[in-house]
Structure 1
Amino acid sequence: MAVKDIWKWIISRLDSDILYEIYNKENIVCPGFRVNSKTAIKQNRTRLSANLLTKSAHKKMLIWFENISLSVIRKNKYGIMEINELVDVCQVYGAVNILIKLISENEEKKASQLFATLQEEANELLDISNLILNEKGMFEESAKKAEKIYSEENLNDHRTKSVKQEEKRIKKLEQKMEKLEIQYRKREISYKSRIEQEEKKLQDAQLKLSEYNGKHAELVKEKDLLVQKNLQLEKKIKQFEKEIKILKEHKNQWNEERKELEEIIVTVNQKLEEFQSEPNNKGINEMLRETAISKEERMRILVIGKPAQTSHFLREYLDFTFVDGEEISNELNKMNMDEVWVLMYELSFRDKLELQENKLYHNLEGGKVKVCEDFTAVKEHLKRLELEETEPNQYVWNN
């Protein structure tokens, strides 16, 4: 129950004169109405009563009630009393005075509890048709008689007379207790069943938690493995990026060399055709065919690093073997080559590392190994071998 319900009940019991007094002394304003006479209160009581419940008017109304309360009530603290004690005090000083006192002490919760108790167990204390004031405070219409009977000196006598009322209240409370005990037993049985269900749920939850913990541990291991694999992949990606960069550079270089070689081949073919078409050179052509070098007589060269185009290596007097990757070690084991050409620009980063670590490669004679950083170096070696080959042929032609 809200305190607002208490105020509604109190205001509904106030005499029109008292309502006029509250509005007049506390200067309370009601929008749309002029409260300048008691007649105005009577004519618009419903609207003016509701206005007193607004936040601004309520504070002023509470101040008015505190100012006219009994001195004995002002001195005491009722918030510390039990509800049954407050019921007794209400019989002496009136329910209205005690309820307002509790509200002024900021004991609104206890005021609501007291009001609810009075409604259920001592409704006669709320059975007030009209409230009026005298010099000492607020009382019901039979104020003088109540003041004489319920003064502080006659408090004990009054309590004796109210024994019957207390007995009724006790009987009602006993009946309530019986009902509460029955309800308690039913709830106890219901709670036991719920507790068992909750315990079972808890056990199931603990089992699931254990399973989840196990799965979580496995996931953590998998995560660590994935992190390691990811790091390895990142390293490989960086390595591949380097190799791709090198290959792109080589590709551009190859394209340029290819154009040069194609131009050389065209020129050589043209000169060869011209040379063979001349009558004086027919005998020489026949002699060249007779002196053609067999495969066994060719110079054997192992080329480490496979170029995209090998046509520009072709010579009748040279036998090239091109290898890369795993083929390098296999060919080095045979080692039946006259020379080893290492095309550094054709090797991947990995092949270069493996070649540096290859013992067979390091054991080769220094004169056999020809390291070529670019195709220009390859052309120089081809030219060198061409000169070596043409010298004996020149001798034959001259003789």
Structure 2
Amino acid sequence: MSKNTKQQLETTLVTAGRDKKWTNGVVNPSVQRASTVVFNSVKEKNAAAIERKGKTLFYGRRGTQTHFAFQDAMVEVEGGAGCALYPCGTAAISNAILSFVKTGDHILMVDACYEPTRDFCDVILKKMGVETTYYDPSIGEGIRELIQPNTTILFTESPCSITMEVQDVPTLARIAHEQDIVVMLDNTWAAGVNFSPFDFDVDISIQAATKYIVGHSDVMLGTAVANERCWDQLQEQSYLMGQCVSPDDVYLAMRGLRTMGVRLKQHQESSLKVANWLAQHPLVDHVRHPALPSCPGHEFYQRDFKGCNGLFSFVLKQSDTSATTALLDGMKHFSMGFSWGGFESLILANEPRSFNSLRTVSNPNFSGTLIRVHIGLENVDELIADLEQGLERYSQHVNIK
């Protein structure tokens, strides 16, 4: 949110993207569905074709007023020069990378990235002849040693997926820019508001808008906001690859944006209460919540972030599959699901051996089961009671010395 102070966030989320040319005088932009756009003259058609990079109706894939309003809103919230839209967060990541690589190039990817990001690098990029080097999320200045003459992208994700390491993004970006390398950030955890990417020299900020922006677990959507340096190339390449999204989904994302400020406050308040409770539990080895000192990279969270949300992990002192199953199967308010950012609480488990396929240079140095939770908008005391009962079930299967 580089254009706004912390105090202005709530107002920005309510007013962003509400230009009258998109809303036509009402509070919300209408859902404008279109494939074919018709023109009254050759001159009008030719003018629209020339303005292909602008926000002019031309063909449904370029977008409608509904899309243009949301794109404006995302730029107002995150900063940057423009916003490209994609059918999901993974599409935003993969197409942003594809927009800036060619055969023979090399990219640097954080080792603790989102699993589909790693799969994309190991399968699609490898097939294209693009080499990926994975780096430790805490590498800092050491990233210099991994840069090659053909390195074109440095990809960051902070906090990292599952294990929640917070990266020193400003240091990484500074070093990358010395070599004219494009810096990309998966900024989904911060929802574009708790970490201001363009204040820290990120070139492209990517989000799974599926998560906190939409906020209700009912839409798949991805965004990539780019600075002046990268916007034209990102926009053109994404357009050529056929990326487009439903105006109905965009409308729901815009609606979610309006309440995201108050939702994030509640997610933060509840998650901190749960995290601090877990930190005192005898079965818990440590808590990986960026706002707590026990989380790797906590110092960078304190320096760079404005706040947190409902997603974090904690590590149990032991690893026992049957005990973990007993914990998960009896939960009342926590459901098992492969997403987060909605109003509901979620829980998933990762045994230590599972990281062997998810990490190649920075395997976590703990031996207990990792539990990832998303703290939703339910009553926080009921959530704690649910976790307490789950840990009691877990304790019946293990012996803690």
TM-score, structure 1 length as denominator?
Answer: 0.20
Relative contact order, CA 8 A, sep 6+: which one is greater?
Answer: 2
TM-score, structure 2 length as denominator?
Answer: 0.20
More helix by share: 1
